[in-house]
Structure 1
């Protein structure tokens, strides 16, 4: 090869974004065979994966997306690229059903068929589910999750789990084929799926990744990134109040809103709630995707998204909420709030009572809050006792979540009262608020359901009942709710919108 040819091959080997449009062919949604140009969702996934690989040397990601956004197309292209340029490696793709297995293998065969001769690997004995590159001693194989033992007994460097939320034997595959992947540099595991309710393997892994409790990176892709998800707007088109809110919060235009209307109508067959079905199939947030019918969550995602995007100046007394871990089961969450601005969320895991007390004491000394509200359930009582011993009793407010509410005729207990106050704070469109741009806080705040008792008092779902539904404890949400332990005085004066300059003081 000439030096020019060597340079071309080197870049094609090392740069997937350069390689894909030049060497890979896909069948578009219109049925045409075209060059693989990464769309916005695929570019985002690629950037996240490459950054993780740069930092850790390997890839472990979970991708939550809507229908037909190209996650599988990206992953198959990436793994074909890797296997066709490396010696002695194996890629394995596991799908939820036989039809999907055939479709993904057809995609891989199309990549191979159209690969330029300059870099096309030699193919040995292959069959309907496997490509073998004989000179490289590498291979590419697909399987279906209906077989519990599929993929066992092999060593795999690159694993793609497709529609993992729909695997019928997910826990068995986690113990089997997933264990065939070495914990070594240059190995990759990409698990992707649309949502399928909560409590299943994919949802459990997503919660752990979102909370930072696993080595996996959680990547979410919203539906409105797809340029083709649009419909022509008819004459006389006008927004409903809900569409007005969606346009404001997510920046949707009329053609995207018309697509949403069309899909909701399409999904509303046979008595199905089309709006709920759309949120699961075409989510705007991860919290929407993991919705479950049969219960209402107290706080809706739209209000949280708006608060994550909004920036304002924190003014007024500093209140800090502390939700200590309960005997090590959960994490300890700490968050600050000055009137309309909540900021600086931090979490601590596997800390003792004395360690948590020390962390809070240090914050008190440094930030001089007006109030520190602490849940006294679990280890919280010990934390409060220690802080009082240290002389901070004048600003410590011990809060019993199950204790009496300030308004016992409206609320079953103190926790419900605080969460309702937090909900009203988030939902007040006349006085927008700011919260940390955190997926963990977002999921926690949107997690608990609510109901009413026989006396029409408001009841918030307990942490124990949330666990039974497959949801983690909303520690960060409880911490923010604790900043409403006492009534928050409403300010009459307007506050100038600005980015918080100092995350500690709010000024």
Structure 2
């Protein structure tokens, strides 16, 4: 048991001791912090196998892929709370996926404080503020905040020494933008932990995991300044995950037993997961760092085909307009081209507009534009590209802002080669036509992936998912404008090919 320090200087000395002797943090946590266990009993925070392994391997920046209820959120909260109350001028921020989750984490941190010795709570760790989500310690000029990722101002205007991002794969809105803002608030030398269960082979957390690195032999001292250390914790590392013993093993169970040394009781628990979670077992109780992503998310396209093509891609032969316009195949005299246009409202915070140029006979992608443009500018750029590609046909989605683009193409650009559908200018995307557009793109990605050269386009394919009610679209924080512009172009091309047979 750790003897409670009674003044600020002793707290600061304890903080320095934990910095010099990292193993001491576990002893201090056990001596000072209390949590409620699975049975609701209040007990000291004793590190389990997962928490000990994380502590052994962690770097300055970390990303944790895990099964459910492994204790990482609890451990990081406790660790960062200790850092906050044993350091001067410390700002700690924990970010949860929802306000309800943030309130749950804060209740846990509140318990940490309430269970401290009274001499600390009424002395150097007396709080000047302790509203929902925030506690301040004026004796140390330190603060601990728990916020929701749905809060657009999360972390804004702060300098953060310790940052914990929880369940990142389930953050609402533009998760990548939220994370970028929080990273910008992290002080040089600050510590960061991102953790989550998987939620599909796409999105911010999936991308961050792919950029992470395995921990070096020498631990955090071997980590580069910008490197994020990866930690994967399968469900069987939690000792409580056991069930009735199983003796009649299936072939897949034998493989898991041989590979990881699982017991008959753990296989019994695994069978219980299959009965309870069915197809979501690999997501909620991960067994490896690959299948847990790909078993979830209901992507509309074949993820393996998309990722294989992404690996093969090179750079465009030309970029313009600050990189928003990319060209892979310049125009060739005598060839016929088609320009597909997905419109948007424009503005600094609006959706992107997208333009795809394809070669009519082969369907190959030639050029792509993705930029926030108003209707007049989009009409101008689309007409310029169409003229550059030999007077190509322009197919504009006429939904929403498309009517304005079509009007400007006619009245301002005087461009006459505009696709018409049943005598009306433009392509109409409806609940009836969209499934066919998506299915066609899915078939092309599997059968003819060589047709596509854009990382932006293929990235959008990976984050385009089936939703409730039979709808399809981009996941929260992702875009589908390049994809829809290409889907329009390929649908119009299919009509053209059919007519010329």
Structure 1 position 248, deviation (Å): 1.1
Q: Is the 8 A contact 2:198 2:292 kept in 1?
A: yes
CA 1:326–1:261: 2 relative to 1, 3 Å: same
**C-alpha separation between the residues in 1 aligned to 2:181 and 2:443?**
46
Describe how 1:378-389 pairs up with structure 2 within 5 A.
Answer: none
Structure 1 position 173, deviation (Å): 1.0
**C-alpha separation between the residues in 1 aligned to 2:192 and 2:260?**
31
Which residue number in structure 2 is paired with residue 248 of structure 1? 258
Describe how 1:88-487 pairs up with structure 2 within 5 A.
Answer: 88-117=89-118, 121-169=125-173, 170-182=175-187, 184-185=188-189, 187-210=190-213, 215-233=227-245, 237-267=247-277, 274=278, 276-291=279-294, 292=296, 293=298, 326=314, 467-470=459-462
CA 1:10–1:199: 2 relative to 1, 3 Å: closer
Deviations for 1:275-333, whole angstroms, at most 9, x for unmatched residues? Answer: x311111111111221144677889xxxxxxxxxxxxxxxxxxxxxxx9994599xxxx
Structure 1 position 208, deviation (Å): 1.0
CA 1:469–1:209: 2 relative to 1, 3 Å: farther
**C-alpha separation between the residues in 2 aligned to 1:10 and 1:163?**
28
**C-alpha separation between the residues in 2 aligned to 1:297 and 1:29?**
37
Q: Is the 8 A contact 1:163 1:193 kept in 2?
A: yes
CA 1:199–1:325: 2 relative to 1, 3 Å: closer
**Secondary structure in 1 matching 2:290:** helix
Deviating more after overlay: 102-111 vs 165-174: 165-174
Structure 1 position 179, deviation (Å): 1.3
**C-alpha separation between the residues in 1 aligned to 2:152 and 2:67?**
27
**C-alpha separation between the residues in 1 aligned to 2:449 and 2:242?**
38
Q: Is the 8 A contact 1:159 1:190 kept in 2?
A: yes
**C-alpha separation between the residues in 1 aligned to 2:262 and 2:303?**
24
**C-alpha separation between the residues in 1 aligned to 2:313 and 2:201?**
23
**C-alpha separation between the residues in 1 aligned to 2:42 and 2:260?**
33
Q: Is the 8 A contact 1:93 1:143 kept in 2?
A: yes
**How many aligned residue pairs are there?**
302
Structure 1 position 222, deviation (Å): 1.0
CA 1:173–1:324: 2 relative to 1, 3 Å: closer
CA 1:297–1:10: 2 relative to 1, 3 Å: closer
> Does 2:47 align with 1:38?
yes
- Unpaired runs of 5+ residues, structure 1, are 53-58, 268-273, 300-322, 330-451, 472-507
**C-alpha separation between the residues in 1 aligned to 2:449 and 2:259?**
27
CA 1:23–1:224: 2 relative to 1, 3 Å: same
CA 1:148–1:125: 2 relative to 1, 3 Å: closer
**C-alpha separation between the residues in 2 aligned to 1:100 and 1:207?**
26
**C-alpha separation between the residues in 1 aligned to 2:449 and 2:46?**
46
Structure 1 position 80, deviation (Å): 0.4
Q: Which has the larger radius of gyration?
A: 2
**C-alpha separation between the residues in 2 aligned to 1:148 and 1:256?**
42
**C-alpha separation between the residues in 2 aligned to 1:190 and 1:155?**
16
**C-alpha separation between the residues in 2 aligned to 1:43 and 1:328?**
47
Q: TM-score, normalised by structure 2?
A: 0.54
CA 1:461–1:12: 2 relative to 1, 3 Å: farther
Structure 1 position 214, deviation (Å): 5.1
Q: TM-score, normalised by structure 1?
A: 0.54
**C-alpha separation between the residues in 2 aligned to 1:172 and 1:324?**
28
Structure 1 position 249, deviation (Å): 1.5
CA 1:112–1:12: 2 relative to 1, 3 Å: farther
**Secondary structure in 2 matching 1:88:** coil
**C-alpha separation between the residues in 2 aligned to 1:266 and 1:148?**
36
CA 1:10–1:148: 2 relative to 1, 3 Å: closer
CA 1:213–1:86: 2 relative to 1, 3 Å: closer
Q: Is the 8 A contact 1:62 1:217 kept in 2?
A: yes
**C-alpha separation between the residues in 2 aligned to 1:35 and 1:179?**
35
Q: Is the 8 A contact 1:94 1:160 kept in 2?
A: yes
**C-alpha separation between the residues in 2 aligned to 1:117 and 1:96?**
33
**C-alpha separation between the residues in 2 aligned to 1:213 and 1:204?**
19
**C-alpha separation between the residues in 1 aligned to 2:35 and 2:154?**
27
Structure 1 position 266, deviation (Å): 0.8
Which residue number in structure 1 is paired with residue 425 of structure 2? none
**Secondary structure in 2 matching 1:286:** coil
**C-alpha separation between the residues in 2 aligned to 1:133 and 1:152?**
20
Which residue number in structure 1 is paired with residue 56 of structure 2? 47
Deviations for 1:193-219, whole angstroms, at most 9, x for unmatched residues? Answer: 111112211111111114899521111
